[in-house]
Chains A and B, each alone.
Chain A
Amino acid sequence: MARDPRLTHITALILQAIDLGYIYGFSIMEMTGLPSGTVYPAMRRMEQDQLIRSRWERQAIADREQRPPRKYYQLTGIGKTALETSRKRYPLIERLIPTSEERS
């Protein structure tokens, strides 16, 4: 049973980060500046609220690059709607996290 998602600042930040392509935990930590003890629990709740879903990277890709496979997160339909809502509620969020182009 999905609960009514609570759109806090942290939720909005993580949604924004994932939408901008920061799709694994450590990169979301780096981009949002939030500690691991905040980011990962928030992502657990968001996943339970069906705002995001996760999948493991294919082992073959990770082996080719000689690193362990990562767990990637992506927005669901509900998550995209929630992100739109959060952008209206927190207009400055879009400026807090740079896009990939801005970053490069």
Chain B
Amino acid sequence: MDSPQQITVRNMHLGLLWIASLAVPASQRAEWSREWRTELWYVLRECWLETSANPRSIRAATEFCLGAYQDAICVRKLSWQVREPRAQFRSSAAACLLLLIGIFVAAWALAQTSTRVAIAMSKLQVYPRQLTHTDTAPCDCPSDLSFQPAAHLFFDGFSHYTVTQQTVWSADMPRTRWIVAQASSDFFQILHTSVRPTVGNTRGPDREPRVLLSHDTWARNFDGKPNKIGAKLHVGTVDAIVVGVVPFNSTDLPGSADAWLLGSDSEAETSKSDFIVAHLSPLGYLDDGRWGLSVGGILLGFLLFPFVSRVSIGEFGSGLPRPSLAKRARFWAFLFGKISVLVPIAYYMSVNLGCLLMPPFSTSSACIQFASSVALCVWGLRWAFRDQQRRCPICLRRMTYPVEVGEPSRTFLAWNGTELMCERGHTLLHVPEIHTSWFGKQRWTCLDGSWQFLFARSNG
């Protein structure tokens, strides 16, 4: 039976071990804590056996527990060494390409959303729009209409409707005056609206006029009874079937009407159209020539790049061994691979910026898209070349361990610059601090096999 003093001492030391365990990686913490708690049990037993817990023995137990902190840090460091292959992967060419592909996918996905946002914002400007020639013949070909703010847009469907006051009655409803919106039968399909009737649907028997009631009308005249779906209703001179009820407070339909009468096409054509509804194509934003802005900007970026950045990659020391032709081909293929992913990134990112920063379809939006495509292209090319300049031509890994060599004041007497090393011991890279006539470009030195013993661990 432990005395209160023993329990206090043990708990105090267990607390010390618990704090130390926080430094241990979570995956190893349970095992580590178990070992130290077990060992503490034996240490304390030795303490109690020797004497009845004098300060000296308690201090020995405390010193033992303090050693756990060094051990915990050691375990943490060793776990980092185990993760070293992950760090090596981060500096590899595959990781670089994967990162670029990830950015490309993100930019592409964002472009899908941003162009839809642009379409949605513009749709609000388009409908309902009163026709300028409603007194003339019904419009069979809506493309000849003039939409001033959105004349250049790409539509994938048109429909029309007219609002009139009609007398409506049925077998169990007296004659009532309703505001009826009479539309063509494909009205809801063209509108791509998300209206889901509370009861019923927007479809009905073919070639038979259909009525969609507003929620208020349904509640006021039919007491909200669902069995009215399918009932026959006389709307003016037309006999129609009730097919559904528009949800309460629905904002997806233009105008406000007590009922929507969806007639057959022939009837719609003979009716007098007051309003027209046009649906912008989801692809309209880019199909409308917007893609040309980005492509043109990217081409301009390629033309500008040699004037704003150094295109040179580097050279190999004269008289020293060079990488094989296959290695050098792989080195250049990696550069072109990066550029080929960067181009679509610049394209989609410029589309995103044009859509999201300025009102879509505006002149400022077009300017943003064009300017950003040029800037992104130049920046991307600059990054691709700079990244290539810091990669080993043999293993394509990032050069590491930069060391500054020489003194700037002795530049013209001795070499002055930065030296980097391939972590696998393939090459050394000499980057001059000041470009001189005898050392203008950065220079690689391929290391022969005699250096390999220094990098045995990395190669293993």
Residue ranges of A at the interface with B (Cβ–Cβ < 8 Å): 1, 3-4, 24-26, 29, 35-41, 44-45, 48, 67-71
CB atoms of A44 and B75 under 8 A apart: yes
Q: Which of B42, B65, B456 has the largest count of A CB atoms less than 10 A from its CB?
A: B42
When distances are taken between beta carbons in the complex, the residues of chain A under 8 Å from B65 are: 36
* Whole-angstrom distance between the Cβ of A24 and the nearest chain B Cβ: 8
Q: Does B460 contact A (CB under 8 A)?
A: yes
Interchain residue pairs with CB less than 8 A apart (20):
A25-B35, A25-B39, A26-B42, A29-B64, A35-B64, A36-B65, A36-B66, A37-B66, A37-B69, A37-B71, A40-B67, A40-B70, A44-B74, A44-B75, A44-B78, A45-B78, A67-B41, A67-B42, A68-B41, A70-B42
CB atoms of A44 and B38 under 8 A apart: no
Q: Does B43 contact A (CB under 8 A)?
A: yes
* Whole-angstrom distance between the Cβ of A90 and the nearest chain B Cβ: 23
When distances are taken between beta carbons in the complex, the residues of chain A under 8 Å from B460 are: 1
When distances are taken between beta carbons in the complex, the residues of chain A under 8 Å from B41 are: 67-68
Q: Which of A24, A25, A48 has the largest count of B CB atoms less than 10 A from its CB?
A: A25
User: Contacts A3-B457, A36-B68, A37-B67 hold; do A26 and B43 have CB atoms under 8 A apart?
Assistant: yes
Main secondary structure on A side of the interface with B: helix
When distances are taken between beta carbons in the complex, the residues of chain A under 8 Å from B74 are: 40-41, 44-45
When distances are taken between beta carbons in the complex, the residues of chain B under 8 Å from A36 are: 39, 63-68, 71
* Whole-angstrom distance between the Cβ of B56 and the nearest chain A Cβ: 16
Residue ranges of B at the interface with A (Cβ–Cβ < 8 Å): 34-35, 37-39, 41-43, 63-71, 73-75, 78, 81, 456-457, 460
Main secondary structure on B side of the interface with A: helix
When distances are taken between beta carbons in the complex, the residues of chain B under 8 Å from A4 are: 456-457
Q: Which of A24, A29, A44 has the largest count of B CB atoms less than 10 A from its CB?
A: A44
State the CA gap A40–B402 with chains docked (Å): 35
State the CA gap A16–B456 with chains docked (Å): 29
When distances are taken between beta carbons in the complex, the residues of chain B under 8 Å from A24 are: 39
* Chain A residue at minimum C-beta to C-beta distance from B66: A37
* Chain A residue at minimum C-beta to C-beta distance from B28: A44
User: Contacts A35-B67, A36-B63, A37-B66 hold; do A48 and B39 have CB atoms under 8 A apart?
Assistant: no
Known: A1-B460, A36-B67. 14 other contacts (CB 8 A): A3-B457, A25-B39, A26-B39, A29-B64, A36-B63, A37-B71, A38-B67, A41-B71, A41-B75, A44-B71, A45-B78, A48-B78, A48-B81, A70-B39
When distances are taken between beta carbons in the complex, the residues of chain A under 8 Å from B39 are: 24-26, 36, 70
CB atoms of B42 and A40 under 8 A apart: no
CB atoms of B38 and A70 under 8 A apart: yes
Q: Which 6 A/B pairs are nearest by Cβ-Cβ distance? A: A36-B67, A37-B67, A41-B74, A37-B70, A40-B71, A68-B38
State the CA gap A44–B456 with chains docked (Å): 22
When distances are taken between beta carbons in the complex, the residues of chain B under 8 Å from A41 are: 70-71, 73-75
Q: Which of B39, B43, B69, B70 has the largest count of A CB atoms less than 10 A from its CB?
A: B39
CB atoms of A69 and B67 under 8 A apart: no
When distances are taken between beta carbons in the complex, the residues of chain B under 8 Å from A71 are: 34-35, 38
When distances are taken between beta carbons in the complex, the residues of chain B under 8 Å from A3 are: 457
State the CA gap A40–B337 with chains docked (Å): 49
